[in-house]
């Protein structure tokens, strides 16, 4: 199982960061490195579940739906890893890795190893490998309304700065979530 942290959907289209993370997971799937992928992310800064939107794009790019999982509670990168890891373990996956861009992977390395699991593997994006993915210039159409949250309130509307800062550091994790 490969965990891919979420990115908000703005203006009803994916941005460069979301595209890169999804294409990296597609590369890992096509190469046989990842058999299953979990896209993680709640509706944090836009009214769409990040994990669900990313899963829709992944399916549109050809990853079979039966190999795509989502986690929609995470509101911070630390929670993406923690909740997805716990959910993957509940689903009886043994080998679990984080797959993201190099910057995010480096930022989360210590948290992942100390607070989630020393067995969690890290698969930072390799830009040269992404060039082998022929779909980089494609823009598949998805029904993003499937991921819409009708009673959405952005994270800054729901939490003050210090609460969000604590969340970024992994201090708001609900240990009973999964």
pLDDT band at 87 (very low <50, low <70, confident <90, very high): very high
| pLDDT at position 136 | 63
- Rounded to two decimals, what is the model's pTM? 0.94
Whole-number average pLDDT of the chain: 94
Taking 3-state DSSP, the helix, strand and coil percentages for the chain, each rounded to the nearest 5, stand at 45, 15, 45
Q: What residue segments make up the domains of the chain, in order of their start?
A: 2-168
Residue whose C-alpha is closest to residue 22's, from 10, 11, 38: 38
For domain 2-168, is the CATH number 2.30.110.10?
no
**DSSP string across 89-115:** HHTT----EEEE-HHHHHHHHHHIIII
Q: Which residues in 53-81 are b (16+ Cβ under 10 Å) and which e?
A: bbbbbbebbebeeeebbbbbbbbbbbbbb
| pLDDT at position 134 | 63
The 10s digit of each residue's pLDDT in 141-168 is 999 999 999 999 999 999 999 999 999 9
Residue whose C-alpha is closest to residue 99's, from 169, 23, 48, 8: 23
Please check whether residue 71 is in contact with residue 40, taking contact to mean a CB–CB distance below 8 angstroms: yes
The 10s digit of each residue's pLDDT in 129-147 is 877 766 666 789 999 999 9
């Amino acid at each position: 199982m490969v965990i891919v942290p979420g990115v908000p959907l703005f203006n009803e289209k994916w941005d460069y960061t979301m595209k890169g993370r999804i294409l990296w997971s597609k590369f890992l799937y096509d190469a046989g490195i990842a058999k299953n992928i979990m896209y993680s992310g709640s509706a944090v800064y836009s009214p769409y579940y990040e994990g669900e939107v990313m899963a829709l794009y992944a399916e549109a790019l050809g990853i079979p739906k039966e190999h795509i999982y989502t986690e929609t509670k995470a509101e911070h990168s630390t929670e993406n890893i923690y909740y997805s890891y716990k959910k993957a373990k509940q689903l009886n996956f043994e080998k679990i890795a984080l797959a993201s861009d190099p910057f995010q992977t480096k930022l989360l390395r210590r948290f992942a190893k100390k607070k989630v699991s020393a067995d969690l593997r890290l698969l930072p994006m390799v830009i040269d490998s992404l060039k082998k993915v022929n779909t980089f210039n494609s823009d598949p159409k998805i029904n993003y309304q499937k991921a819409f949250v009708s009673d959405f309130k952005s994270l800054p509307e729901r939490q003050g700065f210090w609460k969000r800062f604590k969340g970024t550091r992994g201090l708001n994790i609900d240990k009973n979530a999964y």
